[in-house]
Structure 1
Amino acid sequence: MKTGIIILAAGESTRLGYPKQIAKYKEKTLLQLAIDAANDCKADKRVLVLGANRDEIKKTFPGASIPNIPNPHFEKGMSSSIKVGLEYMLKFDQPDQVIIMLCDQPFVDAKILNKLIATQKKESKGIVACEYSKTVGVPILFGKAYFKELMELTGDEGAKNIVLANEDDMASVSFPKGKVDIDTEEDLRDLNL
């Protein structure tokens, strides 16, 4: 099974006031933590989707460390970045499954990404989601059967509706720290305490 990873990092970070992708945690930017996790796990291919503040963000990581592509429609919401990333993957890598991850979950590491891949292999489910705070969410793995639905998402709709409509085809991995994401200066302060 060929696994691709799509890192979504195109958002405008309106609540934070500057690009969250370059906010720092433990001497690294949030984006670099996400890139390291994707590069260190057992996925076969990876792509980073950038949008708002792209030029500024690109200066903060070695370009050769991960293929990165622009989402010219980033203001249309998360679904547009999922589509851009998946289109790229399908064109160049033909994965059997993809993991969608964000750049603002500082505790996502290669271990949790590998756990998604291993759980899929063991359970043979089309969706493997992380479970935290009594819900499921990203990082999340989708098998090929769901690519068409992912391509049909619109607006700021993430892939959660696809998951909820297909719970019988879903396995989950426990990831309590998945609930930590960075949206505000306060979130960042709490994280660095």
Structure 2
Amino acid sequence: MKTGIIILAAGNSSRLGKPKQLLHYQGESLLEIVSKAAIQSSCNPIIIVLGAYAKEISAAHRLNGPTYVVNYNWEKGMSSSIAVGMSAALAHTKDLDQVIISVSDQPFISSEIIENLIKRQQESRKGIVSCSYAQTSGTPVLFRKKYFPQLLSLHGNQGAKQLLKQYPEDSSSLVFELGYIDIDTESDYNNLKLQR
């Protein structure tokens, strides 16, 4: 089973006013945390989609393993980054079976969570496997190949969440308790730094 992973890191962190991808937690940037989790997993290829702060992030963040691509239309929303990431993943591995979509500001992501998504898909045989936290479902989320055309044609800032709502009967999920912690504001970041 060939599983790729797309890490979305193209946003301009408008509410924070600086690239949240480069904020540090326990000695590593948020983008490094998710990238290393992907590298330690069985996923290949690993596609990191940059956008608003592509130059700054590229200068500060070069790990061996991931493929970096730039979404020059990042202002069109998360869906445009998913499409860019999907195109890059399929260009790298044409016979990809499934893909995991992840974001760059979940500091408690781990390779174990990524592997558990793959395991849950094998057990449930569902086409979509998401993470559940704080009464919602979200990233990281795995999509089987049959959803690739829809991922490539998403529009707006809704991202892939609309597919979760559209196909509940073909969805499974696993608990990622700290998945609700992400960084949108300075206050979010200050709260994160208080976490042990």
Which TM-score applies when normalising by structure 1?
0.97
Structure 2 residue matching 1:18: 3-state secondary structure: coil
2:158 is matched with 157
Q: Determine the structure 2 residue equivalent to 1:50.
A: 50
Partner residue of 1:11? 11
Paired residues for 1:10-49 under 5 Å = 10-49=10-49
How far off its partner does 1:64 sit?
3.2
CA-to-partner distance for each residue in 1:42-92, whole Å, 9 max, x for gaps? 212211000011111112222534110110101111000000000111122
**Match for residue 61 of structure 1?**
61
1:6 alignment partner, SS class: strand
Q: Which residue pairs with 1:185 in the alignment?
A: 186
Task: Please show how residues 37-186 of structure 1 align to structure 2 within 5 Å.
Answer: 37-94=37-94, 95-186=96-187
Q: Distance in 1 between matches of 2:64 and 2:129?
A: 29
Unaligned 5+ residue runs, structure 1? none
Deviation at 1:165, TM superposition (A): 1.1
SS at match of 1:87: helix
- Cα distance in 2 for partners of 1:48, 1:68 equals 5
The alpha-carbon deviation at position 134 of structure 1 amounts to 1.1
Equivalents in 2 of 1:65, 1:91: separation in Å? 16
The question of whether the paired residues in 1 share the 8 Å contact of 2:103 and 2:139 is answered with yes
Secondary structure of the structure 1 residue equivalent to 2:60: coil
- Please give the alpha-carbon distance, in whole angstroms, between the structure 2 residues aligned to 1:134 and 1:63: 34
Q: Give the whole-Å Cα distance in 2 for the aligned partners of 1:76 and 1:85.
A: 14
Which ranges in structure 2 are unaligned for 5 or more consecutive residues?
Answer: none
Separation (CA, whole Å) in 2 of partners of 1:154 and 1:70: 17
Q: Could you tell me how far apart the structure 1 residues matched to 2:63 and 2:177 are?
A: 31
What is the number of equivalent residue pairs in this alignment? 193
Query: Which amino acid in structure 2 is aligned with residue 170 of structure 1?
Result: S
- Preserved CA contact (<8 Å) 2:45 2:66: no
Alpha-carbon distance in 1 for matches of 2:43, 2:88 = 16
Residue by residue, what CA displacement relative to the aligned partner does 1:69-124 show, whole Å, maximum 9, x if unpaired? 11010111100000000011112212110000000000111010000011111111
Moved more, 150-159 or 177-186: 150-159
